[in-house]
Chains A and B, each alone.
Chain A
Amino acid sequence: MPKEIRLPLNDDELISLKAGDRILLSGIVYTARDAAHKRMVEQEKEGIPFPIDLAGQVLYYVGPTPAKPGEAIGSAGPTTSGRMDLYTPRLLEKGLKGMIGKGYRSEEVKRSIVTHKAVYFGAVGGAAALISRSIKSAEVVAYEDLGTEAIRKLTIEKFPVFVINDIHGGDIYQEGVAKYKL
């Protein structure tokens, strides 16, 4: 049975999460993908603060399809997280506690996840219509000019994910493959 967690994540929950756990997340997450990450980190170097306070928050790497009239959001599954790796350690330094995406993270990001006590969740890549059902509202909060890549605040309810990298250094991509390799 999946475990239900209400965001923001607290320290006890973060300690209890183990790579491979099935979780249903509820609460607030923010969307950001390549272009938003690049802008946040590059503008910060020029002295412009992040448009949202990331402390304690969870980012979802997604570029949804356009919402049909009357819908909160279109189809919204995870994109490949590795493209964010260059920027992620800085966001973790600023207090980011969780990320939802799919695919491998760099060694640097994995170390950073342990150091800053954060967690990397994987949603099922390609299950975008199913995932959208657990997104109850979506509102653009920054970088509107980036279109599908704008930063959106999402209210999610029982959003299905798996723990990929935990704060103990666990990695389900390595452990899972080792277990089923013949």
Chain B
Amino acid sequence: MKEIHYQDIVEEVKEMCKKSNTNLGEDVYSAFRKALKTERSETGKEILAQLIENADIAKAEQVPMCQDTGTAVFIVEVGQSCHIVGGSLVDAINEGVAKGYGEGYLRNSIIYHPLNRKNTGNNTPAVVHIELVEGEHLTIHMTAKGGGAENMSDLKMLKPSDGMEGVKKYILSIVKEAGPNACPPLVVGVGIGGNFERCAYLAKKSLFRPLGIRHTDPEIAELEEELIIEINRLGIGPQGMGGSTTALDVKIEVESCHISALPVAINLNCHASRHQTITVN
């Protein structure tokens, strides 16, 4: 059985936190450049140009691209034949987050309690989802998820009779309602099916797929493409000031569900779509 050491996880997580906040992924960066060519509004173009310049400065100076350095959210694939030694996986992740946010001069945005609202001072606890898989690897996916877009996310238990049209209508209405608040251009993450809590998780998980990569099921891939076009016809544009670039991408994940249900969750992500993936050996 393969052993993975606590301290190695801490170090990897620490670096992921720092890097995700300073180095915008190539997928998002090239989506900005592509949008700059197609955007119809002059204001929209100016905003996209500012976002490109912002990403360049953040990378060159190793400073956070956005002041909201996010909630650290993890999806960890744990191979059932690997053995973590020296401490617990969740503790290692939290220690890595605390170190990464401290050393990286990142903002601490996590509070102990939603009602008393006192800051924990080190951006922990992180949100950690664990998926037990076959094999002996440990793969950690991390995102620094901003509050502005998260706050405009939504979940609804639709009726089966609402069908595909109902799902589309609901997604468009949420993007419209979010308008400038979610910092468009957006990445729209959608979970369809599962049950109440699973569909929210699916929506979040969909956002971990790099921009420009379509779902492997051709039917879902087509729905993603249709929605990109329809969302961009809403006119919201960069920062909601009008334009043709509202969504950089739409991601959908689907799961089986109950005969009576059609759960749909929409997890909006802003253009600061900050992801890292590593496999700890």
A177 within 8 Å of B (CB atoms): yes
> When the two chains form the complex, which single residue of B65, B146, B179, B240 contacts A75, counting CB atoms closer than 8 Å?
B65
A51 in contact (CB, < 8 A)? no
B173 in the interface (beta carbon within 8 A): no
A76 interfacial contact with B, CB 8 Å: yes
The count of chain B contact residues (Cβ–Cβ below 8 Å) is 48
* C-alpha gap A124/B43 in the complex (Å): 11
Q: How far is the CA of A165 from the CA of B133 in the complex (A)?
A: 52
* Given A74-B64, A126-B51, A127-B50, A65 contacting B106 (CB threshold 8 A): yes
Size category of the binding interface on chain A = 35 or more
Chain A residues within an 8 Å CB radius of B79:
none
* Interface residues of B, dominant DSSP: loop
User: Quick check: B237 and A127 within 8 Å, CB to CB?
Assistant: no
7 A-B pairs whose Cβ atoms sit less than 8 Å apart in the complex: A102-B183, A124-B50, A126-B272, A164-B241, A173-B180, A176-B41, A176-B243
- Given A126-B272, A129-B57, A182-B235: A77 and B66 within 8 A (CB)? yes
Q: B148, A160: Cβ atoms under 8 Å?
A: no
| Complex-state Cα separation, A173 to B242, whole angstroms | 7
Counting chain B CB atoms within 10 Å of each CB, which of A22, A147, A182 scores highest? A182
Given contacts A63-B107, A126-B272, contact A80 B148 (CB under 8 A): yes
Residues of B within 8 A of A127 (CB): 50-51, 53-54, 66
Q: Are A64 and B43 in contact (CB under 8 A)?
A: no
For residue B3, CB closer than 8 A to chain A, the reply is no
With a 10 A CB-CB cut-off, give which of A133, A162, A175, A181 has the most chain B CB atoms.
A181
Q: Across the interface, do B180 and A181 meet the contact criterion of CB distance under 8 Å? A: no
Shortest C-beta distance, B52 to chain A (Å), equals 10
Q: A77 touching B181 by the CB < 8 A rule?
A: no
Determine the chain A residues whose CB is within 8 A of the CB of B40 once the complex forms: 180
**B61 contacts A129, C-beta separation under 8 Å:** yes
* A168–chain B nearest beta-carbon distance, Å: 17
**Interface residue ranges of B232-261 to A (CB < 8 Å):** 233-237, 239-244
Judge if A98 is at the interface, Cβ distance under 8 Å.
Answer: no
Which residues of chain A have a CB within 8 Å of any CB of chain B? 20, 22, 35, 62-68, 74-77, 79-80, 82, 102-104, 122, 124-133, 147-148, 160, 162, 164, 172-173, 175-182
* In the bound complex, CA of A66 to CA of B102 (Å): 9
C-alpha gap A41/B271 in the complex (Å): 33
Q: Which residue of B lies closest to A22 (CB)?
A: B46
Contacts of B54 in A (CB 8 A): 124, 126-131
Do residues A102 and B47 form an inter-chain contact, with CB atoms below 8 A?
A: no
Q: How far is the CA of A132 from the CA of B242 in the complex (A)?
A: 25
Question: CA–CA, A182 to B172, complex, Å?
Answer: 14
- Annotate B80-122 by CB proximity to A: 1 below 8 A, 0 otherwise: 0000000000000000000000000111110000000101000
* Chain A residue nearest to B244 in the complex (CB): A180
For the complex of A and B, 5 pairs with smallest distance between CB atoms: A176-B242, A181-B235, A180-B235, A103-B181, A125-B183
A128/B65 in contact, CB under 8 A: yes
CB contacts under 8 Å to A, within B145-182, are 146-148, 151, 179-181
Q: How far is the CB of B10 from chain A (nearest CB, A)?
A: 21
Contact B241 A66 (CB under 8 A): no
B136 at the interface (CB under 8 A from A): no
**Shortest beta-carbon distance from A8 to chain B in Å:** 25
Question: Is residue B4 within 8 Å, beta carbon to beta carbon, of the partner chain?
Answer: no
